[in-house]
Amino acid sequence: MAGDGYRVGVMGATGAVGTTILAALHDRGFPASEVVAFASVRSAGKELEWGGRTLTVQRLSDESIQGFDVILSSPGGQVSSEWSPRFAAAGATVVDNTSFWRMHEDVPLVVAGVNDEAAEHHKGIVANPNCTTMVMMMALAPIHRAVGLERFVVSSYQAVSGTVQ
Ligand SMILES: NC(=O)c1ccc[n+]([C@@H]2O[C@H](COP(=O)([O-])OP(=O)(O)OC[C@H]3O[C@@H](n4cnc5c(N)ncnc54)[C@H](OP(=O)(O)O)[C@@H]3O)[C@@H](O)[C@H]2O)c1
């Protein structure tokens, strides 16, 4: 991190998740020195309004991925499988929201506020679970710690469009 904050990249910035990530970065006053929006070549050059500034969407390339502290990733699993390791190799810590890295043995699966300590020994990529699981864990973890849960039966109803990613 430079003295004036983290250099942050949002991979999938034009998507449903990326748009929300950008809004959260602004609303929570994340200490970013710079925020760079990445999406596909289809969106490269498009302008996004962010916190009173204009972000010009960048395409992913060996040149454009250099020099980041943190990457917040939601470009779909296939794109993340290729580009998250490249960002990590270039020195960034990638927090990935896709399903691709969730069961990878070298990638900690972290729910903020539940098992933060698992992120300590990451190797450049940190995954998070499906959104349904993640939200449930926040409520169930304290109950589990207090009394021990043996079994939890749940049904969730997911968007069919999510199966393609
Ligand atoms: N962990 C969670 O809680 C959670 C919750 C919901 C979704 N997700 C996951 O988040 C991911 C995104 O979901 P979404 O609903 O935001 O999808 P979406 O609206 O379709 O957005 C996809 C984003 O990825 C970009 N993209 C697509 N192909 C690309 C490429 N070849 N190179 C670079 N960028 C590319 C798109 O850019 P263009 O606009 O240029 O096409 C867009 O910004 C999925 O993997 C989904 O499973 C996670």
Question: What's the pLDDT score for residue 85?
Answer: 98
In the block, tokens 């993340």 appear at 80
Mutate to test the pocket of ligand 1, among 17, 50, 133, 156 (most ligand atoms within 8 A of CB): 17
> Could you tell me the strand order of the sheet in which 6-11 lies?
58-59, 32-39, 6-11, 70-73, 93-96, 125-127
- Ligand 1 center–CA 74 separation, angstroms: 5
Distance CA 160, CA 104 (A): 24
CATH of domain 6-130: 3.40.50.720
* Closest atom of ligand 1 to CA, residue 12: 43
Q: What are phi and psi of 142, to 5 degrees?
A: -65, -35
The answer to whether the CB of 102 falls within 8 A of the CB of 127 is: yes
For the cut 60, the answer to whether the pLDDT of residue 118 exceeds it is yes
Q: What residue's CA is closest to ligand 1, atom 39?
A: 14
- Ligand 1 center–CA 141 separation, angstroms: 28
Strand partners for 72: 10, 95
Q: How far is CA 98 from CA 14, 57, 78, 130, 131, in A?
A: 15, 20, 9, 8, 10
164 band by pLDDT with thresholds 50, 70 and 90: low
User: If you ran DSSP here, which 8-state letter would residue 116 be given?
Assistant: G
Question: What's the pLDDT score for residue 165?
Answer: 56
The per-residue pLDDT for range 127-154, each reduced to its tens digit, is: 999 988 999 999 999 999 999 999 999 9
Distance CA 113, CA 23 (A): 21
Distance CA 11, CA 134 (A): 20
- Ligand 1 center–CA 50 separation, angstroms: 18
